Amino acid sequence: MPEGDTIFRAARTLHRVFAGKVVTRFESVFPALNRVAEDSPIVGRTIESAASRGKHLLMAFSGDLLLRTHMRMNGSWHVYPAGARWRRPLRDMRVLIGTADAVAVGFSIPVAEFIERGDLSRHEILQSLGPDLLDPAFDRAEAARRIRSKSADAIGDVLLDQRVVAGIGNVFKSEILFLAGVNPFAPATSIADQDVERILDIAFEQLHANVLTRQQALSVAVGRRTTRSLDPGAKLWVYGRGGKPCRRCGIPVASRAAGLDARLTYWCPRCQTLG
Protein backbone atom coordinates (compact mmCIF):
# COMPACT_ATOMS: atom_id res chain seq x y z
CA MET A 1 0.00 0.00 0.00
CA PRO A 2 1.84 3.15 -1.17
CA GLU A 3 2.29 5.76 1.56
CA GLY A 4 4.75 8.59 1.90
CA ASP A 5 7.69 6.27 2.55
CA THR A 6 6.92 4.15 -0.53
CA ILE A 7 6.73 7.19 -2.81
CA PHE A 8 9.91 8.70 -1.34
CA ARG A 9 11.86 5.48 -1.99
CA ALA A 10 10.44 5.21 -5.51
CA ALA A 11 11.42 8.80 -6.29
CA ARG A 12 14.90 8.25 -4.85
CA THR A 13 15.43 5.22 -7.08
CA LEU A 14 14.09 7.00 -10.17
CA HIS A 15 16.33 9.98 -9.50
CA ARG A 16 19.40 7.81 -8.97
CA VAL A 17 18.87 5.85 -12.19
CA PHE A 18 17.48 8.51 -14.54
CA ALA A 19 18.58 12.00 -13.49
CA GLY A 20 20.67 13.50 -16.27
CA LYS A 21 19.61 10.87 -18.83
CA VAL A 22 17.91 11.62 -22.16
CA VAL A 23 14.49 10.11 -22.86
CA THR A 24 14.59 7.75 -25.85
CA ARG A 25 11.14 6.19 -25.42
CA PHE A 26 7.81 7.33 -24.05
CA GLU A 27 4.53 5.42 -23.98
CA SER A 28 1.27 5.82 -22.09
CA VAL A 29 -2.30 4.61 -22.06
CA PHE A 30 -3.49 8.04 -20.89
CA PRO A 31 -4.82 10.12 -23.82
CA ALA A 32 -4.04 13.38 -22.00
CA LEU A 33 -0.39 12.43 -21.63
CA ASN A 34 -0.18 11.35 -25.25
CA ARG A 35 -1.67 14.63 -26.45
CA VAL A 36 1.04 16.56 -24.60
CA ALA A 37 3.71 14.19 -25.94
CA GLU A 38 2.46 14.73 -29.50
CA ASP A 39 2.54 18.52 -29.17
CA SER A 40 5.75 18.73 -27.11
CA PRO A 41 7.65 15.45 -27.51
CA ILE A 42 9.00 13.82 -24.36
CA VAL A 43 11.58 11.86 -26.35
CA GLY A 44 14.73 13.96 -26.53
CA ARG A 45 14.17 15.71 -23.22
CA THR A 46 16.55 15.24 -20.31
CA ILE A 47 15.20 13.87 -17.05
CA GLU A 48 16.27 16.43 -14.48
CA SER A 49 14.99 14.95 -11.23
CA ALA A 50 12.45 12.77 -9.47
CA ALA A 51 11.08 13.74 -6.07
CA SER A 52 8.18 12.96 -3.79
CA ARG A 53 5.67 15.39 -2.37
CA GLY A 54 3.57 13.53 0.15
CA LYS A 55 2.00 10.68 -1.81
CA HIS A 56 2.68 12.36 -5.16
CA LEU A 57 5.72 11.64 -7.32
CA LEU A 58 7.07 14.39 -9.56
CA MET A 59 9.48 13.71 -12.40
CA ALA A 60 10.97 16.84 -13.93
CA PHE A 61 12.02 17.06 -17.59
CA SER A 62 13.99 19.70 -19.43
CA GLY A 63 11.77 22.34 -20.97
CA ASP A 64 10.02 23.02 -17.64
CA LEU A 65 7.69 20.02 -17.81
CA LEU A 66 6.74 17.80 -14.87
CA LEU A 67 5.00 14.45 -14.71
CA ARG A 68 2.84 14.01 -11.62
CA THR A 69 1.72 10.52 -10.66
CA HIS A 70 -0.31 9.29 -7.72
CA MET A 71 -0.41 5.57 -6.87
CA ARG A 72 -3.69 5.46 -4.90
CA MET A 73 -3.98 1.89 -3.59
CA ASN A 74 -2.27 -0.30 -6.19
CA GLY A 75 0.04 1.75 -8.42
CA SER A 76 3.82 1.31 -8.49
CA TRP A 77 6.92 2.29 -10.43
CA HIS A 78 9.37 -0.40 -11.57
CA VAL A 79 12.87 0.18 -12.94
CA TYR A 80 14.46 -2.31 -15.34
CA PRO A 81 17.65 -2.44 -17.39
CA ALA A 82 16.90 -1.85 -21.05
CA GLY A 83 15.60 -5.05 -22.61
CA ALA A 84 14.99 -6.84 -19.30
CA ARG A 85 11.83 -8.85 -18.75
CA TRP A 86 9.15 -7.11 -16.69
CA ARG A 87 7.77 -8.63 -13.51
CA ARG A 88 4.24 -7.52 -14.39
CA PRO A 89 2.23 -7.94 -17.61
CA LEU A 90 2.04 -5.35 -20.37
CA ARG A 91 -1.68 -4.86 -19.71
CA ASP A 92 -0.81 -3.26 -16.34
CA MET A 93 1.49 -0.66 -17.92
CA ARG A 94 0.17 2.91 -17.69
CA VAL A 95 3.29 5.03 -18.30
CA LEU A 96 6.71 4.10 -19.68
CA ILE A 97 9.82 6.29 -19.77
CA GLY A 98 12.93 4.81 -21.33
CA THR A 99 16.55 5.88 -21.74
CA ALA A 100 19.45 4.20 -23.50
CA ASP A 101 20.16 1.88 -20.58
CA ALA A 102 17.03 1.68 -18.41
CA VAL A 103 13.26 1.90 -18.44
CA ALA A 104 10.81 3.13 -15.78
CA VAL A 105 7.38 1.51 -15.97
CA GLY A 106 4.40 2.81 -14.03
CA PHE A 107 2.07 -0.12 -13.39
CA SER A 108 -1.62 0.30 -12.48
CA ILE A 109 -1.11 4.01 -11.82
CA PRO A 110 -4.56 5.64 -11.78
CA VAL A 111 -3.48 9.30 -11.83
CA ALA A 112 -0.92 10.84 -14.18
CA GLU A 113 -0.64 14.29 -15.69
CA PHE A 114 1.89 16.65 -17.20
CA ILE A 115 2.24 20.06 -15.54
CA GLU A 116 4.08 23.07 -16.89
CA ARG A 117 6.51 24.27 -14.23
CA GLY A 118 4.99 27.72 -14.39
CA ASP A 119 1.61 26.24 -13.43
CA LEU A 120 2.92 24.37 -10.40
CA SER A 121 2.19 27.19 -7.96
CA ARG A 122 -1.45 27.17 -9.12
CA HIS A 123 -1.92 23.40 -8.98
CA GLU A 124 -4.87 22.99 -6.62
CA ILE A 125 -4.04 19.51 -5.32
CA LEU A 126 -0.32 20.03 -4.78
CA GLN A 127 -0.74 23.48 -3.26
CA SER A 128 -3.37 22.22 -0.82
CA LEU A 129 -1.05 19.61 0.70
CA GLY A 130 -0.11 19.95 4.34
CA PRO A 131 3.49 19.89 5.56
CA ASP A 132 5.34 16.87 4.15
CA LEU A 133 6.79 14.65 6.88
CA LEU A 134 9.67 13.66 4.60
CA ASP A 135 10.50 17.20 3.55
CA PRO A 136 13.73 18.42 5.21
CA ALA A 137 11.85 21.66 5.91
CA PHE A 138 8.89 19.90 7.60
CA ASP A 139 6.92 22.50 9.59
CA ARG A 140 5.69 20.75 12.74
CA ALA A 141 4.01 23.87 14.10
CA GLU A 142 1.94 24.31 10.94
CA ALA A 143 1.01 20.61 10.93
CA ALA A 144 -0.12 20.88 14.56
CA ARG A 145 -2.17 23.97 13.72
CA ARG A 146 -3.91 22.11 10.91
CA ILE A 147 -4.67 19.14 13.17
CA ARG A 148 -6.27 21.44 15.74
CA SER A 149 -8.34 23.09 13.00
CA LYS A 150 -10.10 19.73 12.46
CA SER A 151 -11.49 19.76 15.98
CA ALA A 152 -14.64 17.68 15.42
CA ASP A 153 -13.00 14.95 13.31
CA ALA A 154 -11.57 11.71 14.65
CA ILE A 155 -7.79 11.98 14.96
CA GLY A 156 -7.37 8.85 12.82
CA ASP A 157 -9.26 10.50 9.95
CA VAL A 158 -7.35 13.75 10.45
CA LEU A 159 -4.00 12.02 9.99
CA LEU A 160 -5.19 10.60 6.66
CA ASP A 161 -6.14 14.06 5.38
CA GLN A 162 -3.25 15.04 3.12
CA ARG A 163 -4.28 18.69 3.45
CA VAL A 164 -3.37 18.46 7.14
CA VAL A 165 -0.10 16.56 6.98
CA ALA A 166 1.26 14.82 3.90
CA GLY A 167 2.60 11.28 3.76
CA ILE A 168 0.56 9.27 6.27
CA GLY A 169 -1.57 6.40 4.98
CA ASN A 170 -3.71 3.79 6.67
CA VAL A 171 -0.86 1.62 7.92
CA PHE A 172 1.12 4.45 9.47
CA LYS A 173 -2.05 5.99 10.91
CA SER A 174 -2.73 2.93 13.04
CA GLU A 175 0.92 2.44 13.97
CA ILE A 176 1.58 6.08 14.89
CA LEU A 177 -1.48 6.33 17.11
CA PHE A 178 -0.58 3.06 18.84
CA LEU A 179 2.90 4.35 19.61
CA ALA A 180 1.40 7.62 20.86
CA GLY A 181 -1.17 5.78 23.02
CA VAL A 182 -4.01 7.75 21.38
CA ASN A 183 -7.47 6.37 20.61
CA PRO A 184 -7.90 6.71 16.82
CA PHE A 185 -11.59 7.66 17.21
CA ALA A 186 -11.00 10.48 19.68
CA PRO A 187 -11.95 13.92 18.30
CA ALA A 188 -8.92 16.01 17.41
CA THR A 189 -10.15 18.67 19.81
CA SER A 190 -9.78 16.24 22.73
CA ILE A 191 -6.06 15.64 22.08
CA ALA A 192 -3.83 17.72 24.34
CA ASP A 193 -1.34 20.01 22.63
CA GLN A 194 1.64 18.01 23.88
CA ASP A 195 0.07 14.81 22.57
CA VAL A 196 -0.54 16.38 19.13
CA GLU A 197 3.14 17.32 19.03
CA ARG A 198 4.13 13.82 20.16
CA ILE A 199 2.00 12.29 17.41
CA LEU A 200 3.83 14.42 14.86
CA ASP A 201 7.23 13.58 16.33
CA ILE A 202 6.42 9.85 16.14
CA ALA A 203 5.12 10.25 12.58
CA PHE A 204 8.29 12.09 11.57
CA GLU A 205 10.49 9.45 13.18
CA GLN A 206 8.60 6.50 11.71
CA LEU A 207 8.49 7.75 8.13
CA HIS A 208 12.15 8.71 8.19
CA ALA A 209 13.12 5.34 9.66
CA ASN A 210 11.31 3.62 6.81
CA VAL A 211 13.19 5.42 4.05
CA LEU A 212 16.66 4.59 5.34
CA THR A 213 18.83 2.61 2.95
CA ARG A 214 20.10 -0.77 4.10
CA GLN A 215 23.51 0.79 4.71
CA GLN A 216 22.02 3.58 6.80
CA ALA A 217 19.93 1.14 8.80
CA LEU A 218 22.89 -1.23 9.25
CA SER A 219 20.49 -4.06 8.46
CA VAL A 220 19.59 -6.34 5.58
CA ALA A 221 15.95 -6.31 6.68
CA VAL A 222 13.53 -4.88 4.12
CA GLY A 223 9.90 -3.88 4.14
CA ARG A 224 7.98 -1.37 6.21
CA ARG A 225 8.41 -1.85 9.95
CA THR A 226 7.50 0.19 13.00
CA THR A 227 8.54 -2.13 15.84
CA ARG A 228 12.30 -2.00 15.13
CA SER A 229 12.23 -5.77 15.46
CA LEU A 230 14.27 -7.75 12.93
CA ASP A 231 11.80 -10.62 13.28
CA PRO A 232 10.04 -10.77 9.87
CA GLY A 233 6.86 -11.80 11.66
CA ALA A 234 6.85 -8.81 13.98
CA LYS A 235 7.18 -5.80 11.67
CA LEU A 236 4.08 -3.90 12.84
CA TRP A 237 2.46 -3.23 16.19
CA VAL A 238 -1.25 -3.39 15.36
CA TYR A 239 -1.98 -2.93 11.65
CA GLY A 240 -3.44 -6.11 10.12
CA ARG A 241 -3.45 -7.84 13.52
CA GLY A 242 -7.14 -7.63 14.43
CA GLY A 243 -7.99 -10.25 17.09
CA LYS A 244 -4.34 -11.09 17.76
CA PRO A 245 -2.63 -10.31 21.07
CA CYS A 246 -1.27 -6.80 21.48
CA ARG A 247 2.51 -6.98 21.42
CA ARG A 248 2.62 -4.86 24.60
CA CYS A 249 -0.27 -5.85 26.83
CA GLY A 250 -1.58 -9.09 25.34
CA ILE A 251 -5.28 -8.25 24.91
CA PRO A 252 -6.80 -8.68 21.43
CA VAL A 253 -6.12 -5.92 18.93
CA ALA A 254 -9.39 -4.30 17.83
CA SER A 255 -10.32 -3.29 14.29
CA ARG A 256 -13.12 -1.24 12.76
CA ALA A 257 -13.96 0.17 9.34
CA ALA A 258 -13.92 3.96 9.49
CA GLY A 259 -13.84 7.05 7.31
CA LEU A 260 -15.30 7.77 3.89
CA ASP A 261 -13.45 4.82 2.31
CA ALA A 262 -14.31 2.45 5.20
CA ARG A 263 -10.66 1.58 5.69
CA LEU A 264 -9.85 -0.68 8.62
CA THR A 265 -8.38 0.99 11.68
CA TYR A 266 -6.45 -1.17 14.16
CA TRP A 267 -5.82 -0.25 17.78
CA CYS A 268 -5.33 -1.64 21.26
CA PRO A 269 -8.20 -0.64 23.60
CA ARG A 270 -5.95 -0.94 26.65
CA CYS A 271 -2.81 0.79 25.35
CA GLN A 272 -4.57 3.60 23.49
CA THR A 273 -6.65 5.56 25.96
CA LEU A 274 -5.59 9.17 25.33
CA GLY A 275 -8.11 11.52 23.80
Based on the residue annotation, tell me whether 55 is a catalytic residue of this protein: yes
Based on the residue annotation, tell me whether 2 is a catalytic residue of this protein: yes
Residue in 53, 55, 94, 198 annotated catalytic: 55
Q: Where are the beta strands (DSSP E) in the chain?
A: 25-28, 47-53, 56-61, 65-70, 76-81, 93-98, 102-107, 111-116, 254-258, 263-267
Residue in 9, 146, 198, 263 annotated catalytic: 263
Based on the residue annotation, tell me whether 45 is a catalytic residue of this protein: no
Based on the residue annotation, tell me whether 173 is a catalytic residue of this protein: no
Strand-pairing partners, residue 60, are 49, 66
Strand-pairing partners, residue 240, are none
3-state SS, residue 151: coil
Helix 140-149 to helix 193-209 angle (10° resolution) is: 120
DSSP letter for each residue of 89-126? -GGGEEEEEE-SSEEEEEES--EEEEEEGGGGGG-HHH
Phi then psi dihedrals of residue 118, to 5 deg: -65, -20
Cβ pair 48, 18 in contact under 8 A:
no
Residue 70 burial (10 A CB sphere; 0-12, 13-18, 19+): middle
Catalytic residues: 2-3, 55, 263
